[in-house]
Amino acid sequence: MTLNHGFNCSRQVTQSTFGVNPNYRLGMVQAYNLGIQRTLPKGVLLNIDYTGAHASNLDIIRAPNRTPTSVLNPSITQFNYEDSLGYQRSNALIVNIRNRMRKGVALGATYKYSHSIDNASSVGGSGNFIAQNDQDLGAEESNSSFDLRHSLQGNFVIEPPFGPNRAFFNKGGMVSKILDGYSISGNFNFSSGGWATPSYSLTSQEIASGAPSSLRPDRNFAQAIQGPRSHLQWFNTQAFVYNPQQAHYGNASRNSIELPGTVAVSSSLSRTVSLGETRSIELRLNANNVFNTVQYSRVDTTLNSQTYGQVTGVAGMRSLTYSARFRF
């Protein structure tokens, strides 16, 4: 006699390379903040805020069936195990200052000093990277991949003092008409870089362990990590040691290499020309990366790569767009 359960499904055991903790818990975030606001002379508004957060039960990917050089139980393959043992904590000081339009100038800027730490590689949407040592998840604690220690962002609007009701060329005439109606606006972003993890890839040990790009080298504490920061060598490649026959988990930290920061300024020049009481035409010239600053975007942190330590990508160069809009 054959016994079947209610849905007539197969009782055959199927092996998989992915599993989830049956007691998986949803993540929880506790946030707290304190702020003060003050109006300074000449209408300048100042805000100072402190923001902190602590998150628990975050997603972390483990590899229970492996050692640095092989699988732990050869009768089954290496598999990924999704668990909720991750955590993250952060603190930030934010200073914001705003100057409303006064004498043709408006400016707003925000400076942020912050630090975020986690042990979950999936925090911040940076990808589900596997924890190196399943028996030592504490060794995964490091800077968050999205941690930007310093950041200054803002925007500005400038109306040149030319034309009717302005400081110069305000008595009419051809010059007054030509210079009237212009506006210069833009935004800027200056920030330190995020973080990347030193690793090695496609070695025989890594392939045997079944979890690619998750093994780290050893840290050479006699060498500083910060290097010349050139496109040929962004960080000090001697700060990490890799032995092709390495049979232990490396002690280098996740996200220990600071990546290039951001220097970005965008601006636009616009002019509105009135064509009667109800009609006007707006002409606008937009410029991204106004100063055509070379912006590094990727760095190779894989020790056994031919481009190890080098910059492997850059952001876009300066670009210009022109638009016209007719209102009626």
Q: Measuring CA to CA, how many Å separate 39 from each of 44, 46, 96, 98? A: 6, 6, 12, 10
Residues 6+ apart with CB under 8 A from 20: 81, 82, 83
Helical (H) or strand (E) element with 204: helix 204-209
Q: Chunk the chain into consecutive blocks of 10 residues (it has 328) and report each block's average pLDDT, rounded to whole numbers.
A: 53 74 92 95 94 94 88 86 93 96 90 95 65 92 94 93 72 73 91 93 76 86 95 96 83 95 94 82 92 93 94 93 89
Is position 216 within any domain?
yes
Give the pLDDT score at 269.
93
Give the span between the Cα atoms of 146 and 257, in whole angstroms.
12
Question: Of the candidates 31, 229, 262, 259, which has an alpha carbon nearest to the alpha carbon of residue 151?
Answer: 262
Is position 7 within any domain?
no
* Amino acid letter, 66: R
* Amino acid letter, 133: N
Is position 9 within any domain?
no
Give the span between the Cα atoms of 69 and 138, in whole angstroms.
21
Is position 1 within any domain?
no
Give the pLDDT score at 204.
76
Q: 261, 191 in Cβ contact below 8 A?
A: yes
Is position 121 within any domain?
yes
The DSSP annotation for 260-315 comes to P-EEEEEEEEEEEEE-SSS-EEEEEEEEESTT----EEEE--BTTSTTTTSEEEE-
The DSSP annotation for 49-100 comes to EEEEEEEEEEEEEE-TT--SSS-SSTTS---EEEEEEEEEEEEEEEEEEEEE
The domain of 282 spans: 39-327
Phi, psi of 155, rounded to the nearest 5 degrees = -145, 165
Question: Of the candidates 223, 229, 232, 227, which has an alpha carbon nearest to the alpha carbon of residue 252?
Answer: 223
Give the pLDDT score at 3.
46
- For 176, the 3-state DSSP assignment is helix
Q: Is the dihedral of CA 161, 166, 169, 173 positive or negative?
A: positive
Is position 224 within any domain?
yes
Number of domains in the chain: 1
Give the pLDDT score at 2.
45
Is position 29 within any domain?
no
Give the pLDDT score at 111.
98
Is position 31 within any domain?
no
Q: Tokens representing 196?
A: 């990347």
Q: Measuring CA to CA, how many Å separate 213 from each of 137, 255, 302? A: 17, 14, 9
Give the pLDDT score at 159.
87
Residues 6+ apart with CB under 8 A from 233: 227, 309, 310
